[in-house]
């Protein structure tokens, strides 16, 4: 069995993989996939692309990276929200972007958008290995006047993630389609936000748009478009009826987009062999 996980031949390698290496990966992957019992990918776009690129007779099995069903701990969520707000005096509304804090995630655009509001705070939570980039973000926040309303929080365990993500009013995922793998993005944090019942603003990319449109749990906007991002924030913040509808729809979406249901697809693929 081959588990592709990402669109490997279009993955972001920060320039470490040249054309020859990419060609070699493509040849090896195609050779192996044609000889596997079945292959696993995380969304339909990648399944379609790999079937076309490698001329596969059998379409890869789509198993999305959904977490197990989360139950909101309202006390822990309220506690974490109060702690975040205490760190940012004057803030009443929280935007969050969780996951690795790296380039091509639209974070500079998010900082610029958040800086336009006097009572909005921004929480960036996740691994911070690129210290140069973190410093650049801190300098940008100071320059934009967001310095006192931005928190850089370390990654937390999966066990406690819901207690932190659930403390936000909005989750923002401005992934930039700098490589094909990012264009096909359907990240874990997207499903984690759904499980935390937090409305989403995501880049207008095919896989995230498909779910947002299907369940009506947020809005999409062009990556790095600060003006459009602000319009999305305004809509979700000021239209109480629309926001409440998104919150109610999230309760429905999380029941469908959880591992308890998603694992059935994987089990069925194995049962066909066994």
Q: Mean pLDDT over residues 33-53, rounded?
A: 97
pLDDT at residue 5, as a whole number: 78
**172 vs 179: CA distance, rounded Å:** 20
What DSSP string runs through 29-62? Answer: HHHHHTTSS-EEESSHHHHHHHHHHTT-SSPPEE
Q: Mean pLDDT over residues 125-144, rounded?
A: 97
**267 vs 150: CA distance, rounded Å:** 43
- The mean pLDDT value of the chain amounts to 96
Using one digit for the tens of pLDDT, what is the confidence trace for 204-213? 999 999 999 9
Cβ neighbours for 205, distance < 8 A, ≥ 6 positions apart: 175, 177, 182, 183, 184, 185, 220, 223
Is the confidence at residue 163, as pLDDT, over 80? yes
Q: Mean pLDDT over residues 175-189, rounded?
A: 95
Q: Mean pLDDT over residues 25-48, rounded?
A: 96
pLDDT at residue 137, as a whole number: 98
Is the confidence at residue 225, as pLDDT, over 80? yes
Using one digit for the tens of pLDDT, what is the confidence trace for 227-236? 999 999 999 9
Is the confidence at residue 18, as pLDDT, over 90? no
Q: Mean pLDDT over residues 239-245, rounded?
A: 98
Using one digit for the tens of pLDDT, what is the confidence trace for 88-132? 999 999 999 999 999 999 999 999 999 999 999 999 999 999 999
Task: Give the residue carrying structure tokens 């790095």.
Answer: 224
Is the confidence at residue 12, as pLDDT, over 90? no
Q: Mean pLDDT over residues 155-177, rounded?
A: 96
With contact defined as beta carbons under 8 Å apart, do 172 and 203 qualify? no
Percentage of residues of the chain with pLDDT beyond 70: 100
pLDDT at residue 14, as a whole number: 72
Element (H, E) at 2: strand 2-3
pLDDT at residue 33, as a whole number: 96
13: pLDDT confidence band, cut at 50, 70 and 90?
confident
């Amino acid at each position: 069995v081959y588990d592709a996980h990402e669109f490997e031949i279009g993955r972001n390698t920060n320039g470490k993989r040249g054309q020859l290496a990419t060609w070699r990966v493509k040849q090896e992957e195609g050779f192996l996939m044609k000889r596997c019992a079945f292959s696993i990918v995380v969304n339909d776009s990648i399944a379609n692309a790999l079937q076309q690129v490698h001329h596969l007779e059998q379409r890869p099995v789509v198993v999305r990276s959904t977490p197990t069903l989360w139950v909101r701990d309202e006390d822990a969520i309220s506690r974490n929200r109060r702690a975040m707000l205490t760190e940012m005096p004057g803030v009443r509304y929280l935007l969050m972007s969780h996951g690795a804090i790296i380039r091509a995630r639209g974070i500079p655009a998010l900082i610029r958008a958040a800086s336009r509001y006097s009572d909005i705070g921004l929480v960036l939570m996740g691994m911070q290995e690129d210290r140069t980039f973190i410093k650049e973000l801190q300098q940008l926040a100071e320059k934009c006047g967001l310095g006192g309303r931005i928190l850089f929080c370390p990654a937390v365990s999966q066990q406690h993630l819901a207690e932190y993500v659930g403390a936000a009013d909005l989750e923002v995922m401005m992934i930039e389609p700098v490589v094909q793998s990012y264009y096909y993005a359907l990240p874990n944090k997207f499903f984690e936000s759904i499980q935390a019942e937090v409305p989403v603003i995501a880049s207008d990319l095919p896989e995230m748009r498909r779910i947002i449109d299907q369940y009506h749990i947020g809005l999409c906007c062009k990556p790095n478009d600060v003006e459009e991002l602000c319009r999305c924030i305004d809509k979700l913040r000021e239209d109480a009826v629309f926001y409440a509808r998104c919150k109610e729809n999230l309760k429905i979406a999380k029941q469908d987009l959880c591992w308890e249901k998603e694992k059935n697809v994987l089990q069925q693929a194995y049962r066909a062999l066994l």
